[in-house]
């Protein structure tokens, strides 16, 4: 039954895959045009710059990429949210992690802290960046109640790092609600999700109501309600079953 559901989800998400590949082709073509000089003597490549030498041959000269930066904000673009948080099984083109967070610091007058982080999996991941950017002034005397709504569950490295933070900072109570499970078939990922759960983190897959709440709280929705996509509830049940099997 699970295999049948797996194949159904792959088939239903084929249009997402094709759309993502088309968008990628457009961006690559745009990038190529923007980085090619009119005279044709210098053009961008994936790994550097093609420069014409004195004898007329082209050689690749390596270029240094700018440092990666985590993007932070208050509200997410609605189209980006609908694409990145869609709880499909085949997640082609969804190469970012969006982390929406709520932080309540006990016994303080600062109120509820809210916002989001996003990454591209090319540098520091959003999960690691959260503790550095959103809790830079950690106070061991306070109790922190932290809730994340993430586009996908943590990778094995992030899960390991989060588990270590929770072990060292017993006063942080973390709940993670994930739209999708990231590479849940991998044994290493399963091992560290269990370790994260053992460290006291509450792990759950996002329900349809969670998507609606995240839309209302973290998205520039212009007061428009979220129209959930087809099979949202079915896909939630599929992922929740997989997570329950991992954590049991």
Q: Which of 127, 185, 188, 220 is catalytic?
A: 127
Burial 15-29 (b: 16+ CB within 10 A, else e): ebeeebeeeeeeeee
**What DSSP designation does 66 have?**
P
Edge to edge, the sheet with strand 58-62 lists 42-44, 48-52, 58-62
- 127 a catalytic residue: yes
49 in Cβ contact with 43 (< 8 Å): yes
- Percent helix, strand and coil across the chain, each rounded to 5? 40, 20, 40
Neighbours of 54 (CB within 10 A): 5
Active site residues: 127
């Amino acid at each position: 039954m699970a295999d049948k559901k797996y194949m159904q989800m792959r088939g239903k998400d084929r249009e997402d895959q094709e759309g993502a590949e088309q968008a990628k082709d457009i961006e690559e073509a745009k990038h190529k045009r923007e980085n090619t000089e009119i005279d044709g003597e210098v053009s961008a490549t994936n790994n550097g710059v093609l420069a014409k030498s004195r004898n007329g041959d082209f050689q690749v000269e390596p270029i240094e990429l700018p440092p990666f930066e985590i993007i932070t904000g208050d509200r997410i673009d609605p189209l980006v949210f609908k694409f990145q948080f869609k709880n499909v099984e085949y997640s082609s083109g969804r190469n970012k992690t969006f982390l929406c967070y709520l932080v309540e610091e006990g016994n303080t007058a600062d109120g509820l802290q809210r916002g989001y982080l996003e990454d591209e999996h090319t540098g520091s991941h959003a999960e690691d960046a959260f503790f550095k950017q959103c809790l830079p002034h950690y106070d061991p005397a306070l109790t922190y109640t932290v809730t994340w709504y993430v586009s996908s569950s943590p990778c094995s490295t992030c899960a390991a790092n989060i588990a270590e933070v929770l072990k060292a900072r017993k006063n942080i109570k973390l709940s993670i609600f994930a739209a999708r499970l990231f590479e849940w078939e991998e044994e290493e990922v399963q091992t560290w999700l269990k370790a994260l759960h053992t460290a006291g983190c509450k792990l759950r897959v996002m329900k349809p109501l969670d998507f609606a709440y995240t839309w209302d709280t973290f998205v520039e929705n212009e007061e428009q309600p979220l129209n959930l996509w087809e099979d949202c509830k079915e896909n939630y049940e599929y992922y929740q079953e997989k997570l329950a099997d991992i954590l049991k």
